[in-house]
Amino acid sequence: MKVTIVGTGYVGLVTGACLAEMGNHVLCLDLDAEKIRTLESGSLPIHEPGLLEVVRRNVAGGRLQFTTDGERAVAHGTLQFIAVGTPPDEDGSADLQYVLAAARNIGQLMTDYKVVIDKSTVPVGTGDKVGAVIAEQLATRGVDVDFTVVSNPEFMKEGAAVEDFMKPDRVVLGGDNPEALETLKELYEPFLRTGNPILVMDSRSAEMSKYAANAMLATKISFINEIACLCEALRADVSEVRRAISLDRRIGPHFIFPGVGYGGSCFPKDIRAMISMAGDNRAMPLLTAVEQVNERQKGRLFDKVKNHFGDDLSRLTFAIWGLAFKPRTDDMRDAPSIVVIKALLDAGSRVQAFDPEAMEEARKIFGDRIQYTHRNYDALHGAAALLILTEWNEFRRPDFARIKSLLKQPVIFDGRNIFDPADLRKLGFTYYSIGRNDG
């Protein structure tokens, strides 16, 4: 099938590459000329495991192309996926300007039947707005061209996005046009060969499904972080508690790891967007609390640093391992590391940081206010303590003797609970983690 992807970011690029992998002819549009140049030169603008290989193979096979030319993009695909950003507006609501601009462009230029598929995470009712914008453009042009809008929220996880797209737990389609839904079922069928379902529903329920999924996941994280706080106060160990509750099949083992709070491009903005969607008359006390717990959690590691070193941190240097909001991505959007590092800088400390993939993104945020090191151990030179903010695998079994020899004092603040407190004590470290009463 001929497919156009509008917006070649994390979602758009993975979607385009994976659809091309199944033999479709895909054209990815982006307004960001630099991004398109990078892709055309054979590189990726983002880090996502396995993506480069899929992109290169399909570019070489002539099935995947990139453009900044809106006219060419509209002409190309009968299927027009919208995968542009929906960042938070000032009041927390999802800013729809990019989605509606993409729809407007399609309405202004289309000359034949189009299925417009909304893959961006959008407030309930946006499908109707997209349809109205396209209809308005067609009316202004005085032409009568048929189109339909389908909601198709994306559930991929950054860090495993290719894998998730290739083998989704489910595909959700929202719409009421049987032929369009049939076409999309055909498009997705090769990804569902293990029997996972395509769920067809009305557009509003499809839009809500995405927010409900993210809200549930964020709730699980804030839940375990709140339990971790209580564990610390009452001298219980959240790791043991987590093990005990995760074996209950009604609860399960996923997304109940305590840490420095959730971040990334989706959970924070989507929780805020949901609260805003509810409006003033329908408060959402649960999600409001989920957000509050998360904000508090992001400050807890810094509080532990102050408890250990005292209020004056101005003469100290801190080593940071991990900047990305989670492992296997370079995404720094709303990363908890931003809050922790800002707190350290505001306290007058120096920061030496290492991340396997996110240093370039971090540089866009911190510039030269922090030092970036080429290897993780280099960040430790002369530092008063090590803070672990992202659980990259390569941090899990380090050379502790080397860490000890490089730090001024053997102190580790572990925001991801990747080490065993008893082991670290035996090795002579002062070790602080989350909810394990080890301080």
Ligand X SMILES: NC(=O)c1ccc[n+]([C@@H]2O[C@H](COP(=O)([O-])OP(=O)(O)OC[C@H]3O[C@@H](n4cnc5c(N)ncnc54)[C@H](O)[C@@H]3O)[C@@H](O)[C@H]2O)c1
Point out which span in 29-37, 336-344, 383-391, 409-417 binds ligand X (CB under 6 A).
29-37
What gap in Å lies between CA 185 and CA 11, rounded to an integer? Answer: 19
Q: Smallest distance, Å, CB 4 to ligand X?
A: 10
Q: Which is nearer to ligand X, 11 or 351 (CB)?
A: 11
**Contact residue for ligand X among 30, 361, 414, 438 (CB under 6 A):** 30
Residues 6+ apart with CB under 8 A from 439: 304, 307, 308, 432
> Quick one: which of 98, 147, 211, 372 contacts ligand X (CB under 6 A)?
98
# residues contacting ligand X (CB under 6 A): 26
Among 4, 10, 106, 258, binds ligand X (CB under 6 A): 10
| Residue 361 interacts with ligand X (CB under 6 A): yes or no | no
HEC letters along the chain = CEEEEECCCHHHHHHHHHHHHCCCEEEEECCCHHHHHHHHCCCCCCCCCCHHHHHHHHHHCCCEEEECCHHHHHHHCCEEEECCCCCECCCCCECCHHHHHHHHHHHHHCCCCEEEEECCCCCCCHHHHHHHHHHHHHHHHCCCCCEEEEECCCCCCCCCHHHHHHCCCCEEEECCCHHHHHHHHHHHHHHHCCCCCEEEECHHHHHHHHHHHHHHHHHHHHHHHHHHHHHHHHCCCHHHHHHHHHCCCCCCCCCCCCCCCCCCCCHHHHHHHHHHHHCCCCCCHHHHHHHHHHHHHHHHHHHHHHHHHCCCCCCCEEEEECCCCCCCCCCCCCCHHHHHHHHHHHCCCEEEEECCCCHHHHHHHHHHHCEECCCCHHHHCCCCEEEECCCCHHHCCCCHHHHHHHCCCCEEEECCCCCCHHHHHHCCCEEECCCCCCC
Q: Of the two residues 101 and 166, which places its CB atom closer to ligand X in the complex?
A: 101
Q: Which of residues 264-323 bind ligand X (CB under 6 A)?
A: 265-266
**Shortest separation between residue 98's beta carbon and ligand X, angstroms:** 4
What is the nearest approach in angstroms of ligand X to the Cβ of residue 213?
10
Selected binder of ligand X within 67, 80, 93, 121 (CB under 6 A) = 121
Q: Interacting stretch for ligand X, rule CB under 6 A, among 84-92, 110-118, 217-225, 368-376?
A: 84-92
Smallest distance, Å, CB 321 to ligand X? 23
| Whether 143 contacts 174, CB under 8 Å | no
- In single-letter form, the type of residue at position 160 comes to A
Is 12 a binding residue for ligand X by CB under 6 A? The answer is yes
Segment interacting with ligand X (CB under 6 A) among 4-12, 137-145, 396-404, 406-414 = 4-12
Active site residue 18: no
Using CB under 6 A, pick the residue from 17, 24, 26, 35 that binds ligand X: 35
Of the two residues 10 and 432, which places its CB atom closer to ligand X in the complex?
A: 10
Q: Under rule CB under 6 A, which residues in 210-269 are in contact with ligand X?
A: 265-266
Which one of 24-32, 143-151, 249-257, 357-365 is the stretch in contact with ligand X (CB under 6 A)? 24-32
Per CB under 6 A, 67 contacts ligand X: no
Task: Identify which of residues 11 and 187 has a Cβ nearer to ligand X in the complex.
Answer: 11
Nearest residue (beta carbon) to ligand X: 9
Q: Which of residues 137-166 bind ligand X (CB under 6 A)?
A: 154, 156, 158
Only segment of 97-105, 336-344, 351-359, 421-429 that touches ligand X (CB under 6 A)? 97-105
Active site residues: 266
Binding site for ligand X (CB under 6 A): 6-12, 29-32, 35, 83-86, 98, 101-102, 120-121, 154, 156, 158, 265-266
